[in-house]
Structure formats: C-alpha cells, structure tokens
C-alpha cells in the first residue's frame, strides 16, 4: 500500500475511488489495531473470565458427575432413587482414596454449611463399608448403599444433604451473587436474607460507599480553595504551587502510606508532638491509625491531587471579569463567589468528585495497611477471598458487583464530561 500512496511530484495518483476513501481509514484503524488487540486479550479477557467465574462454577459437577446424573430426575422430595446412593457412594469412595474429596466437600459446604463434616465423616465409614462388603463378596448395589448410608447417618434418608449436593452441582448459578448480597440458603433450598447480625457484604458495600463519599467531600472542601489559589496566582507562583500538588501525585503510594504510619502511629511524630507540647498526656496518645481515621486521612491525602487537578484546569478558564462585574454591580464578595464563581466551576467539581469517588471505591492497598479492622473496605474482602479463603466465585461476584457500580458512575461521567476527555495533570 505504501508505494501506491507515495505519488511522484506533481502527478496525482490514479487510485480507485474506494481506495481513496478507504485507504486512510484503514491506515488509521491499522495503527490503533495492535493496541486494541492487546487490550482485548490482556484486559478484556480477564474481565470476561471474572464475569464468567462469578456465575459459572463447574467444580462440584465435574467432581461428582454420576451423582448429578442420578439426581437429575429426582423431584427433591423424600429419598432419592437408589442409583443416586450407588453413584454417590462410588464417587465418594473413589475421591476419598485419591484425596480429592476434601476439596469437593469444601465447595458443597460453601453452599450449605455443615456439609463438609457430613461428607468427610460419613465417607470415611463408607470406605470401610465398601471394603467390608468386598471382603464378604456382598453385592454393593443401590439398595445396599441406601441401607448402609442411612445406617451410617440417618440424614441421607431425608432430602437435605441431597438437595445440598444438587445445588452445589449446578454449573451455572446465581449463588455467588446471592451470597455477595447477603442472602443465604434456607432449609427448603430457597434463598432468604441472612439475619441482620450475619450480614457482611451489603454493610461493607455501604461502608465503602459512605467512606468514598466522605473522602470525596473532604477532598472537595480542601481542594476547592487550593485549586482556586493556584488558578489565581501569578504564573511563577502558580507553577510552584502546582508542583506541590503534583509531587504527591507522582510519589509512590506505598511511600505516602508509610509516611502516614510514621506520622500517626502511637509512638509517631504527631503523638510525640502533642505529648511534648503537653496537649495530651503520655497515657492519652490518640489512636489515629489502624482504624477508620487512618483510612480516611491517608485516602484523602492520596486522592486530593485527583480532585485538585481537574478543578484547577476548569478554574483557570473562568474569566475574572465576571467576578469583578458582579462585585462592581454591588454583590458582596461572598455573593459573587456563590452565585457567579461557583456555578462556573461546577463542571470541574463534578468531574473531579466523580473521578475521586470512583478511585476511592476501588481502594485496596491503603485501607489494608492503615485501616486496621474497622477501616477495611469491600476491596479488602475481595482480596481476602482471592488469597486466603480461596472462594473465587464469591470474589468474582463481589468484584463484578463493584464493576457494575463503577460502570454506572462512568456512564454519568461520560454524560457530564466525556469519557475520552480524561486528562493527566
């Protein structure tokens, strides 16, 4: 294509019309294509696998395929057919010998608590029964296993453990989302809201929302005058002041978090200072970190530049003539500020606040390091389920819910500012 697009001097090339129209478009698209492909694979791929993981959970179904097949025709009432007993016994005994049953039992336990001990305890006796039957040369059919299992644990005669297995064996399921919204499985298999004291995630979402809102408002209260001062200083001073905002922006998040620990901890600089000037006694050192206060202060510090910078760029474009006109028409400075200046800065306020809020609700590192127990947010819970409890379905559902919220906010941001206009300081 290149040779055809470099015509010799003074002689326009004779190209077909479609090519003249399409060529530049193809070339432009071709330049963007590698990154589009890269983002699709390395970023959209993971996002898709996140969403998939949140409702696709094949592990139990794959571990107990025969049991699931045998339970397919069962109506969920009374005792299931004998094939189900035979299948579950075969699969439990086999998995137990291969030491993979514990994993499956854990999965089932997440759906109905208590199932882990039922499965692990009963299966041990089932292994013994299978061995004894083999030694005696007895027939181990469905009827045999029904009697044996009910003898080991009478609960197998009722529908509850079977319903639990069936529920855990669903490949496509909403249960992670239900759990993420604090619903739990009731005795009849339907989902009901958990009792208030056991609700974890909805209150945590709520707390994350409130903390983000609080941090955003605090950033606005601090950032508005700061942005105003930078925007209305002579250029030299404005540049210096801008650097004071940009340095924290560029400084490693971990450095800033470390410094808040150094400043705020019990034996830290602020407490030492307060004791030294006699404001508090040595006994009365204030707990400013490893709690919600720490999360609040550190997050405000980290996010403040994200609010100041967009606000500053809007304020810079507000012509001072309007304020002067308002004042010379008799408005007090405060009236002029409220009725003339503030409305003109609203686009910056909206953009800055939204960006700050969106960043705040996904914060993980800062609350994890300075938040203690009370300062943890939803992202800390997501990380916990990824790294510690290994309940990946639930982690995915929590992250997907958070993603939904963030996407909603970006739609608002797009209406307000335009998503392609996100700038950098």
Partner 1 sequence: MMAGTAVSPGYRVARWGYVAFCVAAFIFLIAPILVLVPLSFNAEPYFTFTEGMLRFDPEAYSLRWYRSVFDGDEWTRPLANSLVIGLSATVVATVLGAAAALGLAHPAMPGRKIVTALLISPMITPVIIAGVGMFFFYSNLGLAQTHVGIILAHAVFGAPFVVITVSATLAGFDWTVMRAAANLGANPLVAFRRVQLPLILPGVISGSLFAFAASFDELVIVLFMGGLEQRTLPRQMWSGIREEISPTILAVATFLIVFALLALSTVEWLRRRGAAQE
Query: How far apart are alpha carbons 403 and 413 in whole angstroms?
Result: 15
- Least separation in angstroms between CB 43 and partner 1: 5
Q: What 3-state class would DSSP assign to 191? A: strand
Binding status of residue 4 toward partner 1 by CB under 8 A: no
Query: How far apart are alpha carbons 12 and 6 in whole angstroms?
Result: 9
Stretch that binds partner 1, among 43-51, 83-91, 92-100, 111-119 (CB under 8 A): 43-51
Q: Which structure tokens are listed for 126?
A: 């089932």
Q: Which structure tokens are listed for 35?
A: 């990154």
Stretch that binds partner 1, among 70-78, 112-120, 170-178, 222-230 (CB under 8 A): 222-230
DSSP conformational letter for 330 = T
**Please, which residue, 107 or 301, has the CB nearer to partner 1?**
301
**Please, which residue, 150 or 275, has the CB nearer to partner 1?**
275
Query: How far apart are alpha carbons 413 and 358 in whole angstroms?
Result: 10
C-beta of residue 270 within 8 angstroms of C-beta of residue 288: yes
Q: Under rule CB under 8 A, which residues in 316-355 are in contact with partner 1?
A: 323-324, 327-328, 332-334, 336
Binding status of residue 424 toward partner 1 by CB under 8 A: yes
**Please, which residue, 31 or 135, has the CB nearer to partner 1?**
31
The DSSP result for 121-146, as a single string, is HHHHHHHHHHHHHHHHT----HHHHH
Task: Return the H-helix or E-strand segment holding 185.
Answer: strand 183-185
Binding status of residue 43 toward partner 1 by CB under 8 A: yes
Binding status of residue 383 toward partner 1 by CB under 8 A: yes
**Please, which residue, 140 or 313, has the CB nearer to partner 1?**
313
Instruction: Tell which one of 53, 110, 146, 163 touches partner 1 (CB under 8 A).
Output: 53
Which of 155, 151, 156, 137 is closest to 87 using CA atoms? Answer: 156
- Least separation in angstroms between CB 283 and partner 1: 18
Instruction: Tell which one of 190, 250, 278, 321 touches partner 1 (CB under 8 A).
Output: 250
Instruction: Tell which one of 79, 140, 170, 259 touches partner 1 (CB under 8 A).
Output: 259
- Least separation in angstroms between CB 362 and partner 1: 2
Instruction: Tell which one of 77, 252, 373, 388 touches partner 1 (CB under 8 A).
Output: 252
Stretch that binds partner 1, among 59-67, 89-97, 100-108, 397-405 (CB under 8 A): 397-405
**Please, which residue, 71 or 241, has the CB nearer to partner 1?**
241
Query: How far apart are alpha carbons 183 and 188 in whole angstroms?
Result: 14
Which of 362, 370, 360, 374 is closest to 260 using CA atoms? Answer: 370
**Please, which residue, 92 or 201, has the CB nearer to partner 1?**
201
Q: Under rule CB under 8 A, which residues in 272-301 are in contact with partner 1?
A: 272, 301
Instruction: Tell which one of 97, 258, 317, 374 touches partner 1 (CB under 8 A).
Output: 258
Q: Between vectors from CA 227 to CA 224 and to CA 230, what angle results, nearest 5°?
A: 150
Instruction: Tell which one of 243, 286, 346, 408 touches partner 1 (CB under 8 A).
Output: 243
Instruction: Tell which one of 163, 379, 391, 417 touches partner 1 (CB under 8 A).
Output: 379
Q: Under rule CB under 8 A, which residues in 56-95 are in contact with partner 1?
A: none
Instruction: Tell which one of 28, 132, 280, 408 touches partner 1 (CB under 8 A).
Output: 28
Binding status of residue 254 toward partner 1 by CB under 8 A: yes
Query: How far apart are alpha carbons 292 and 367 in whole angstroms?
Result: 8
**Please, which residue, 194 or 218, has the CB nearer to partner 1?**
218
- Least separation in angstroms between CB 16 and partner 1: 17
* Other C-beta atoms lying within 10 Å of the C-beta of residue 197: 6
The DSSP result for 33-89, as a single string, is HHHHHHHIIIIIHHHHHHHHHHHB--HHHHHSHHHHHHHTT--SSSSPPHHHHHHHH
Helix, strand, coil share of the chain (percent; to 5): 75, 0, 25
Residue 273 CA, distance from chain mean position: 38
- Least separation in angstroms between CB 258 and partner 1: 6
Stretch that binds partner 1, among 29-37, 84-92, 169-177, 310-318 (CB under 8 A): 29-37
Binding status of residue 34 toward partner 1 by CB under 8 A: yes
Binding status of residue 217 toward partner 1 by CB under 8 A: no
C-beta of residue 201 within 8 angstroms of C-beta of residue 398: yes
């Amino acid at each position: 294509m290149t040779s055809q697009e470099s015509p010799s001097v003074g002689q326009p090339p004779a190209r077909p019309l479609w090519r003249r129209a399409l060529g530049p478009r193809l070339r432009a698209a071709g330049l963007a294509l590698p990154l589009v492909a890269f983002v699709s694979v390395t970023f959209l791929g993971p996002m898709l696998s996140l969403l998939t993981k949140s409702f696709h959970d094949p592990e139990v179904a794959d571990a107990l395929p025969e049991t699931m097949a045998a339970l397919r025709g069962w109506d969920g009432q009374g005792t299931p057919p004998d094939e189900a007993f035979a299948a579950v016994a075969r699969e439990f005994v086999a998995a137990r010998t291969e030491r993979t049953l514990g994993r499956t039992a854990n999965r089932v336990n997440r759906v109905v608590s208590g199932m882990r001990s039922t499965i692990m305890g009963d299966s041990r006796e089932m292994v013994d029964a299978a061995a004894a039957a083999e030694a005696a040369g007895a027939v181990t059919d469905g009827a045999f296993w029904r009697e044996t299992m009910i003898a080991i644990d009478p609960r197998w005669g009722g529908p509850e453990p079977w319903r639990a297995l069936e529920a855990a064996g669903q490949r496509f399921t909403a249960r992670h989302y239900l759990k993420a919204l604090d619903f739990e499985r009731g005795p009849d298999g339907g989902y009901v809201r958990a009792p208030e004291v056991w609700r974890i995630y909805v209150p945590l979402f709520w707390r994350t929302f409130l903390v983000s809102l609080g941090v955003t408002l605090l950033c606005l209260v601090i950032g508005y005058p700061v942005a105003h001062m930078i925007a209305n200083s002579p250029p030299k001073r404005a540049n210096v002041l801008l650097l004071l905002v940009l340095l924290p922006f560029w400084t490693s998040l971990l450095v800033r978090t470390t410094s808040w620990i150094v400043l705020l901890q019990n034996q830290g600089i602020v407490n030492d200072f307060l004791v030294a000037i006699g404001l508090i006694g040595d006994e009365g050192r204030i707990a400013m970190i490893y709690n919600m206060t720490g999360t609040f202060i550190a997050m405000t510090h980290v996010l403040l530049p994200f609010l100041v910078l967009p606000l500053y760029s809007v304020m810079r474009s507000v012509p001072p003539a309007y304020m002067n006109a308002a004042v010379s028409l008799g408005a007090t400075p405060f009236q002029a500020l409220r009725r003339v200046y503030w409305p003109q800065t609203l686009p910056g306020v909206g953009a800055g606040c939204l960006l700050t809020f969106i960043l705040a609700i996904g914060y993980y590192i800062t609350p994890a390091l300075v938040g203690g127990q009370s300062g943890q947010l939803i992202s800390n819970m997501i990380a916990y389920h990824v790294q510690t409890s290994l309940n990946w379905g639930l982690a995915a559902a929590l992250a997907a819910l958070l993603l939904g919220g963030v996407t909603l906010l970006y739609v608002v941001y797009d209406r307000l500012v335009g998503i392609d206009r996100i700038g950098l300081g």
